[in-house]
Structure formats: C-alpha cells, structure tokens
Structure 1
C-alpha cells in the first residue's frame, strides 16, 4: 500500500508564516523568495519547508526583504479611512504649529520623530509633512477654508449688519493693513470678531485705506451690511475730535460711499485714557516720562552699573528688580516702570547722587526735594487708569459697557479733584517736608496736583463727546429693570441708520424680554455676564424667530458697533517674530490664529475628519504653488490650441 502524501495544512501555515498554499494541496509557495518558488510537502511535510528556509537562496532573499520597505508601507490605499486619518493628522499638525506659534522648521524634525517614537502606529509611519508641505497646507487649504467659514456663517445665520475696523503695522519694510469685522451671532455664542483680510499697502493715507476697505468689503459681499466703522483717533481715520464728515478722512469717505448709511463712528477709548494721563503729566514741573526712560537706558545694557546698583540695594535692604521703561505708543505702560522705581527709590537716588558726573536730568530730579512725591502721586492715579484700560480692552465689550467705564473714570476724577485727593504716602511725605521748612514747595506741588486733575477732566470730557450719542443704548446692558420709554431713542437711532424695525412688533417682543430680565433679579451670575452673553441667553430661550425678530435686528445693529479697535490692534502681536515669512504665509497664520482662537487642536482634528472635501484638498498637489502655476500654463496652452483649431490657423508645437 503506497504511503499517504502530506498536505499543506492550516497548522503548517501558522507555523511557517512565510509560506502560503501553492498550486495544489501538496505544496507551499514561499512569499520571501521570487514569485513562483514552490516547495513540495508531500514527502516530509514541515521538514520540507524547514529545509527550504535553511537554504542559502532563502536566506539571501530574507536579507533583501529586511533592507527594503514593502509597497504597503509606502503607499496608502486611496479613499480609505486610514488615508483620512493620516491626512487629518497632517492637517492638525499644521494647525497646531500655527496655533502655538511654532516655526515651520519644527515640522521637518517632527515628521521623522513620530516614526521613531511610535513605530507601532500605522498613522505615524505614514505621516509625512515637513516644512514645505505644512506651509502649503496652511496657506492654500486651511486659511481659505477659515475665511470661507466666516462668510458662510454670515450668510447662513442671516446676519444683517456688521461693523468694520482697521489697523496698520510694519512687516519689515512693508506696510500691512488688517481688516476686522464685528457682528452678533447668537447661534455661535454671541459677539463675533473675525479678520477677513490682511494685505500690504503703499501708504497709510485716507484714500488708500478707504479704497482698500471698500474693495475688501465689496469682494466679500459685506459692503451693504456695514453700518459702523472703528479705528484709532488719528485725523486720517476720523478727521479730529468732532469726526468731520466733510473732511478727507476714512470715515467721511466711507459714509459718502454708502449714501450716508454708515454714519456710526467709534474711536478707541483705550487711547483716550492713555492720552488723558499723558497730556495731564505734561502740566507737572517734573518730566517723569523722560526720567523713567533715562534711568532705564542708564542701566539696561551696562553690567558694571547694574552690579553697583545691586550693592546699593543691598545696603538699604531693598530687593533688586530690573528697572523698566515704557512702550513707545502707550504712556500708561510707564506704570510698571514707576512702580519698580518707587520700590528701589532710596538705592537709585543714593547711586546717582554719589556719581561724579551723572546725567543732568537725573541729577536735577533726585536733588528735587519732592521727586518721590511726584512718583507716588502718578503711581496712585495711573493705577486707577491702568485697571480701567484693562477693563476697556476686555474681549467682546459692547459700546455701552465702554461708555459705563468712561463715565466711571470721569466721576472718579471729579471726586478726586473736589477733594484734592492725594495718597497717604504723599501726604505723609509732604508733612515731613513742611516740618523741614519747605512749605512753599509743598503748596506749589498741591497746586500742580489740582492742575493735573483739571487737565484730565477737560481732555476726557472733550474726547467723550462723540460717544455720548450711544447713551440711548444703555438699557441694552440688561443690568436693570427695563422700561419701554428708554427703548424709543434706540429705535430712532437705528432707523436713522436705515436699520428697519417694526415698532409695534418690537413692543410685543419687548414685553417678553422684560419678563426674561425680571426673573434674573438678584442673580449675581447673570449680572456679571457681558451684554452680548445676556442677549444670547435670551435668544436661546426664545421659542421662535417670531418672538424676537425685531429685537434681533436691534441686537445685530447695536453689537455691530465695535467698542474699540483693540481687536484689530492685537492682530499684529500674533505675528511677532515672523519677519522672515512671506506676506502670504503671515496672512494665513493670522487668519487661523485669530479666527480660530477659541478652537482647540483636538476640536480641529475632529473637524477635519468630518470634512472629506477639506481632506481631499490637503492630499491634492494643488496646494503647492508650482502645481497651480503648471495648471495655469496648461490651461493657457489648451486655450491657444483651441483658438488655433477653431480659426483654422496652422501652428507648430516647439520641440524641447
């Protein structure tokens, strides 16, 4: 009887994983050697397979396979979930790089590092997004999608009105102007501030900025929705304190373009407070600003002088802290510098008076008997102004909240002036000087303090005048019980700006709003909310659009008034240390950083995975400039061929 043949069984395949079933059940095919290498198992079974694996041929093939990557590890199956996860990872890392102000050069290292750190991850193994690809994803895919989402949100949520603000800065030798819009969208959380463009301009003249703003709004379909304009208080933007409507300024030109519809202009209140203290300080006999700057310059790069000052601080038992200067554009930034100088005043004074030839300005200052009193008084007043500026520049403030802060500052200054207020430290110092026989000098100082207050009050009253027209909206802060009589002036204000409101429907809807506000009386959490958050909460609880349609128009018109231009001004702080980037890359980074400032990297990753169209754009070579240029050239060549064919003109294709 013949011996039974061995078969290539499942057990053999599990033991010898490099084999699979051959042409029949009695042989196996080696996957390591060249295709078509079959080994018979009919006689010895597994020992036949083992003999083949011990052969020199198989060993050489095994070494070759180990030194080269499989095609499966190089290519990802198209349109698969795996491919989407890899692409989403690349897009998220591009967003992560911009979000956290990393350099694109980091991605050159990150791409290889992920493969090394996570060798068991298929996504990490396929991840390949270095500097060039990451920058292309940001510039050509993520930034355009970000801007498209902003414009789509305006259209889908039926936002009828918006305000616009601008600011300019330098990017190397190039003047860059940013345009920011503000609008109210309760479905997205309330007050929204989004940047829609940032481009270079040849100068900062009124004609240039106006043309740029007009063309940008028109191209985005927002020109007719714009009812307010915000900028700093320079003459180019508003034409002076009274906002001259006939002058050659940006605001006047924008009003004229929109047939006087955009008649709402809002200056920057933070600048008002800053300049208020700056001008008042000029009435003092001592120039504290130049003193702070001189002291800073004297020490900040000189190690020997700094070490000597440390010895003086140790002698008077004072902790040494680096002395500070001020910002070139904000005088209130001198507040930390004054505080540091007061802390180390005995040591600094002793240091300069002990020098052989100190700077004359500093010598005269420290020889002045009341030099410390000037510093203490300014610190006391600037401390108040500093806290209110922080309150003014809080994100998503409304015009009425800004007006409340300015009125509060005005009242405080009036109270201080009526009582000739000075801090206890200043009073104690004056008392000591009077006992030393310096009564005349002390009286002169008190007169300067009163003159200082007068200057602050006069400047503030003058600059606040244009903002008093917004007092009709004070009820919209929803901080107190509502009265219909206070709503009438608001409706008239908006009707004059062609914001259509049905007064009858508005009254009926106002009654519902009144009941809503009354139920939160005494609720500290509700009272602490910003105005736009309170209105958002109301619209969320409203049953349907018919219950709040007119109030929504009022809210959209009111919150379109940007309370300050700090939103536009802070944009350029996002681009610090980016001087080597192209303007296109800088624009794309700022768009993502500003418009997605409340979006986390995890949330953005989920957004990418849910957006197949965006993933396809990230995968496409069209994100590269060279690919777009080549496509343009091919289209131009195709159009030329079509034209010659249709006209019957013969042509010869050049040979390269």
Structure 2
C-alpha cells in the first residue's frame, strides 16, 4: 500500500486487494454483506464455474492442447453429422458429468456461440486454405474447373462455387470454394461472384480449365452469357456443360410425342393418394383382394432427373388394383384423373387384358431405363471428361438400335398384341416418334463429329493398353496446351514410351489385366504417376481430368444445404450454413482421424482457443 496515511489502516491477504481496518466492523459487517443480493449472485457464479484451477486452462500445455483438440473435434462431429449446436452442448455437459474422473472432460466447454465461432472463423477458412495449398503445391499452379448453379431458399437465391482438379495422390477432387446469396441472376452478377471469390483466395481465371453449369442461356448463351464473359478474360476456357441435363431434356422432349400424358398421370395419382390415409388404406385392401403386393405410390419431382421411372414402376406394380379402386369410388375420382386414365365403369376388364394407358406406361418404363442408366453413369464420381464421348455415343447407338428393331420392351410387345389393331398401330407409331425425337435432340445438343474436342480425349481412358505420342499431340493441339502448360514435346515423347512400357508391365498377367480394366480412368493415371516421374504427361492429364462430366457435385451441395437449413434451423445465417457446407464437403476425414490431425497442429489449436479470429490469421495453418 503506497497511499500516504493508509499504512496503518489497510489490511490485505489477497494481491491487489485491501480492506480498511478502521471502518470494517468485523463479523457484523460480514453477515450484512453475506445477505446482500450482489454477494449471493456472485456465490452462485462461483458454484457454477467451480474453481479456476480445475476448469480453466491458462496456457498451451499438453493438457490444454488435448482439451482444445477434443472441443474442436466435438464441433467437427456436430457439423459432419448434421447435429444441432444446442444438442451438442447438452451432450458435452452430459459427458462432463458422467466422465467426471477425466481431467480432459472436466475442462471441456463448448456452447452454441463458441461452436458457431469456431466453425465460421477457424474450421471453414482452414478447409478453404487446404484446397488452395493443394492447387499451389507444385512448381506451377494446378488447373481447375469452376462449377456453379443456383437454388432457392425461400426468397433467397443461393449460388455455390465449386472446383474440380486432379492430383496423383488423391485423383479427381471436388471441393466447394464459396456459397453466397445473390439476387442478381444475370450473367454480370454471376461473373462478379466468381471473380470476387477467386480473388479473395488468391486464384486467377487464367488457371481455369473449364466452366461447368446447367445449359441455361444465362450460362452458355451466344452473346451475353457467363461463359462468353469468362472467355473475355481467359480465351482458352472450355465449355463443361452438364450432359446429364441434356439426357433429362431429351426425355422431356420425347414424351411430348406421346398422346398419353405419362408424367401428368404420375403426378395426379400421387397427389390423389398423398393427401388421404383412408384412400391409401383402401388401395391396400384392393391389392390384398387382387392378390397383389402393395407398393407405396412414389412422388415424382419434375426437376429431379431420376424420379420419374421409379414412380412409373410403382404404378405398374399396383396397376390392376389401382384401376379397380378408382372405378369403384365413382364420382369421388377426380374428372381429370378419369380422363388421363380413360376410366369407365367397364374399364377394369378381365385379368390379363391390356389397356392403352398401361401399354404406354410399360413402354416408358422400359425405354427410360436407358436414360436412367446414362444419367447415373454421368453422375458417378469415377466418370471423367475422358469417358464422356464414349458414354454419349453408346447411348445414341442404343436408341437407334431400338428404333431400327422396333423393340419397345418385351412386356410392351405382349400387351400390344392384346390391343385392337388400330390402337396397337397408333401406339407403335408414337413409340417410334418418341425414339426419333430423342435421337434428333441428342444429336442437336451433343457434337458426335471428330471436331468435338471430347472425341480426341478418348485415348486417355487407356482402354487400348497404351498411350501414343500421336494421341497426346492431338489432345495438346485441340486444347491449345503446349504454350499454356509449357509442354516440352521432345520430353513428352520419351514419357509416352515410358508410360506404354509401364502399362505393359501393369497388365502383363491375365488377372492383373482384368483388375486394371475394372479401374476408373483417374485411378489408372494415379497408379502410373505414382510409379514414374512424367511431368509433361501429368500436366496434360491433370488439365483434362479437371474438366467435369456433369453438375452432380453442385446437386449434392444443394441436397446437403436442404438437410442443414431446415425449418427447425431457419434462423441460421447464410454465413453459418456456408461454413458448415465447406467443412462438411472439404474435409474427408472421419472424426477420429480429424482429432489426431488437430492434435498435431499447434497453430490450429491456438486459433481455436482464440475462437473468433480473422481469416488471414488462419491462412497459413496446416493439418499435418
């Protein structure tokens, strides 16, 4: 105590704290103070917090690192598995209570606010930075493609921005770079989002190999589209439009040639049964009476490419009981549904007898298996741009073969024989028109000539068991890669010789050859580049495999967005949902693997302890 005159009055037992011995009245004053509201509130706080030494970690000790790593992993687990932060907070408190003999568990604390701060300020920037490091890890930056799409969340228009690139260690990689709200759906608005997102992480449009989006005019219009505006900055950027979208539109176009509105039938029947449990139960009773196994009526979503055919399958499985039920309810059956199904009181007919609507449903069910198969191939993770031309060419050939053979499905053929000659001939003509329209539409929207640069990528599938210098030269010329990637053609020739020799070794034995052929294109190239140093060939292959085959990854982003941004979590900010999507999609580690990785990263642990930090402070963080 340095204040003059207070030396004799002051008594103190706690550092930086003093009492006046003259004024303090002893036990009476203590009792009076103990009864005040302020004292009682402070005591409750002490009881809830416990002692500081027991529950607070003051410095970065080994124990502190383990506590922080456990907290961060707990948050990662919450995001990865789509749990709410309130439930995660409750679970952590329960863990602390039940594992009270653990010194780590005692010191863990992670409320909703802290968890959100770690996700938005630490884990999300960290996940993005890991992607940027991979792109810039080599002597020259890796080429990558840009993917974008748009989807509504209420009255908000959301745009994700994703990347695809190839590395010999990980193969084809898809990651999300940004997820923003933007009411401006014009080409200018979308380009601004792309440029802003790339600049914020130090990437350039010069590195972009292709732009991928659906086939809307705003994306690929001739004069004023996102693609044309991007080409103003990077004239060599390729068009990576969605081929699954082409297949979907082919079905829509071809269905217009049928006099039976198959899609509307599916929608109307689902609508009729989905709103009434009583109707569903009555249909089940009709199925039991007809000795037919009941199948739930499935919903078809017009924007979902693969939902129509399964819905048709379920209708056909319930067809006879379904017709009988709709006829039995008389006027309760909607007039439009009666018209679509051509229902009359005697329409149920006899067992085994066909009706026109059933024949059309059988035809669609059969032919749409082709479309369904192609879409699934295009959206597979193992499908690459190298495989696109062969997939689309095979699809076209199968459509032409069916048309030329007049084959509309075996069950369809049997049912056609039970129709009247005029109805059967009319149906066959429309089925042929369906196939003709599909063939014409596919040819219109996909270039099957040798001028298509996708045609020249086929040798990179390694289906022939070799890769020639001539094939590589054509690819480089078609995509103008020699100057862009600084390719040494002389060195590339030697690398082609080495790669062909390596391929012969990998497929020498019959069993090894079968195993090799079962691998995807990217997996084959991963094995080659891990076995030999082929820098020029790797540069070309990395560029080609960065080009996407469909917009399937963007669709997965939107599906995950809907799972996270539910009505229960409708108050979540766009920034929080963005961060959760980035963490969920960019980290491939399990929760156990993530804990081990975080425990080794001292900088990430420091950032997590700080909770709210600026993005630039975590740019250099690296998970070992």
Which bracket does the TM-score occupy, shorter chain normalised?
0.7 to 0.9
Gaps of 5+ in 1: 1-33, 36-64, 629-656
Contact conserved, 1:231 with 1:237, CA < 8 A, in 2? yes
Tell me which structure has the larger Cα radius of gyration.
Answer: 1
Give the secondary-structure state (helix, strand or coil) at the position aligned to 2:149: strand
Supply the distance in 1 between the matched residues of 2:249 and 2:519 (Cα, whole angstroms): 29
- 1:360-401 C-alpha deviation (Å, 9 max, x unpaired): 332234337311111111111112221221111011421121
Which residue is 2:399 aligned to? 413
Supply the distance in 2 between the matched residues of 1:291 and 1:68 (Cα, whole angstroms): 64
Deviation at 1:198, TM superposition (A): 1.1
Supply the distance in 1 between the matched residues of 2:240 and 2:47 (Cα, whole angstroms): 70
Map 1:437-516; keep pairs closer than 5 Å.
438-465=420-447, 468-482=452-466, 483-495=468-480, 498-516=484-502
Higher relative contact order (CA 8 A, sep 6+): 2
Which residue is 1:534 aligned to? 524
- 1:300-333 C-alpha deviation (Å, 9 max, x unpaired): 0112222221221111111222201211313541
Give the secondary-structure state (helix, strand or coil) at the position aligned to 1:94: helix
Supply the distance in 1 between the matched residues of 2:458 and 2:263 (Cα, whole angstroms): 37
Map 1:75-474; keep pairs closer than 5 Å.
75-157=56-138, 158-187=140-169, 189-223=170-204, 224-239=206-221, 244=222, 247-258=223-234, 260-262=235-237, 264-357=238-331, 358-367=333-342, 369-433=355-419, 438-465=420-447, 468-474=452-458
Q: Does 1:551 align with 2:529?
A: no
Deviation at 1:77, TM superposition (A): 4.7
Deviation at 1:132, TM superposition (A): 1.3
Give the secondary-structure state (helix, strand or coil) at the position aligned to 1:283: coil
Give the secondary-structure state (helix, strand or coil) at the position aligned to 2:157: strand
Which residue is 1:9 aligned to? none
Contact conserved, 2:386 with 2:545, CA < 8 A, in 1? no
Q: Which 4+ stretches in 1 moved above 6 angstroms? A: 65-68
Supply the distance in 1 between the matched residues of 2:542 and 2:47 (Cα, whole angstroms): 66
Instruction: Note closer, same or farther for the CA distance 1:377–1:498 as it changes in structure 2 (3 Å cut).
Output: same
CA RMSD of aligned residues (A): 2.2
Deviation at 1:624, TM superposition (A): 10
Deviation at 1:69, TM superposition (A): 4.2
Deviation at 1:218, TM superposition (A): 2.9
- 1:393-451 C-alpha deviation (Å, 9 max, x unpaired): 01142112122221111111111111011222111112222xxxx11110111111111
Instruction: Note closer, same or farther for the CA distance 1:71–1:216 as it changes in structure 2 (3 Å cut).
Output: closer
Higher alpha-carbon deviation: 315-324 or 91-100: 315-324
What number of residue pairs does the alignment pair up?
546
Supply the distance in 2 between the matched residues of 1:145 and 1:66 (Cα, whole angstroms): 37
Supply the distance in 2 between the matched residues of 1:624 and 1:554 (Cα, whole angstroms): 38
Instruction: Note closer, same or farther for the CA distance 1:100–1:372 as it changes in structure 2 (3 Å cut).
Output: same
Supply the distance in 2 between the matched residues of 1:502 and 1:495 (Cα, whole angstroms): 13
Supply the distance in 2 between the matched residues of 1:430 and 1:466 (Cα, whole angstroms): 34
Gaps of 5+ in 2: 1-12, 15-45, 344-354, 618-624
Which residue is 2:579 aligned to? 588
Which residue is 2:601 aligned to? 611
Give the secondary-structure state (helix, strand or coil) at the position aligned to 1:199: strand
TM-score by length of 2: 0.84
Which residue is 1:50 aligned to? none
Q: Does 1:600 align with 2:590?
A: yes
Contact conserved, 2:386 with 2:544, CA < 8 A, in 1? no
- 1:25-61 C-alpha deviation (Å, 9 max, x unpaired): xxxxxxxxx99xxxxxxxxxxxxxxxxxxxxxxxxxx
- 1:254-290 C-alpha deviation (Å, 9 max, x unpaired): 00122x122x101111111111111111100000101
Deviation at 1:66, TM superposition (A): 11
